[in-house]
Structure 1
Amino acid sequence: MLNVGQCLCGRIRYAAGEFSARMAHCHCSMCRKFHGAAFATFGSARQDEFRWLAGGEEVKSYRAENGTRRLFCPHCGSSLAFISPAHEGTRIEVALGTLDTDIAQRPDAHIFVGAKANWVTLCDGLPRYSGERGSEPVD
């Protein structure tokens, strides 16, 4: 399945292969700030199955304190993807809010709930973890 998306202004477009079944809502402060939202939801795709369809040469990158590379459109500011140093060259995390195509997968957890915005109430019944998956579960 080919997943296609773009930034808000449409100058940057991409295609990604199938996303991993594990898909979480991330509440870490970096994801919240990168998206300007309560949390971010990313789909993990193989990097060799990802390509820029338009504007790839214009994509800007910000290297965060933890070493992740956060990719965004310099024209409209859309958050597009990030690459973890642990998965450099193998996986890319695509911001699912930028997709134009529907996907079959659904988020299955909330991660980094320990950094969740205090004004957010989680009521979807998904498992919650204080940090990454496998960290302490949160009730």
Structure 2
Amino acid sequence: MTESNYLQGSCLCGGVRYRAALPVAHASHCYCTMCQKQHGAAAGSYANVASAGFVVEAGAELITEYASSDHGRRGFCRACGSTLFWRSTESPDRIAITLGTLEPEYAGPVEREWFVENKPAWLPLK
């Protein structure tokens, strides 16, 4: 697989490194309160890719998953706390990787916004 065929990323401490095969089905900002709390930000930002193309290249033992709902699982590095992905047990063929962990930064468009009714009023205007 060539570099142009996948996204790659890592956690803050560098202990976890991964790659995810393209294409990205869509990228999104999720304003649900669970994403806000986990990310400590206005939204969780994700690229939705095929689970079959997601490979942890280093640090698999550092990844912990938290069951944030009946169907949602949030993966993070237990050493530094970086949020790495969100996945649904109802759609095991897909995984949503966090845009902020990608290297280089994600260059594609963000096409979707989820739970906009929870979008914080303190976000800056365009």
Partner of 1:132: none
* Structure 2 counterpart of 1:29, one-letter code: T
Partner of 2:32: 28
Partner of 2:110: 107
Give the fraction of aligned pairs with identical amino acids, expressed as a percent: 37
Task: Mark the structure with the bigger radius of gyration.
Answer: 1
In 1, Cα distance between equivalents of 2:51 and 2:35: 20
In 1, Cα distance between equivalents of 2:34 and 2:23: 22
Partner of 1:52: 56
Pairing partner for 1:3 from 4, 7, 13 = 7
Note the residue ranges of structure 1 that are not aligned, 5 or more in a row: 124-139
Relative to the length of structure 1, the TM-score reads: 0.80
Decide whether the 8 Å contact of 1:21 with 1:105 is kept in 2: no
Partner of 1:91: 94
Structure 1 residue 41 displacement after superposition: 1.0
Partner of 1:137: none
Deviations 1:50-80 (A, max 9, x none): 1001001220000012420000000100000
Partner of 2:73: 69
Q: Does 1:116 align with 2:115?
A: no
Number of equivalenced pairs = 122
Decide whether the 8 Å contact of 1:19 with 1:43 is kept in 2: no
In 1, Cα distance between equivalents of 2:28 and 2:110: 5
Q: 1:119 to 1:102 in 2, by over 3 A?
A: closer
- Let me know the Cα RMSD of the aligned residues: 1.5
Decide whether the 8 Å contact of 1:67 with 1:84 is kept in 2: yes
Structure 1 residue 102 displacement after superposition: 4.2
Structure 1 residue 28 displacement after superposition: 0.7
In 2, Cα distance between equivalents of 1:114 and 1:102: 27
Q: Secondary structure at the match of 2:90?
A: helix
In 1, Cα distance between equivalents of 2:23 and 2:37: 24
Relative to the length of structure 2, the TM-score reads: 0.88
Select the structure that is richer in strand: 2
Which structure exhibits the higher relative contact order, with contacts defined as CA atoms closer than 8 Å and separated by 6 or more residues? 2
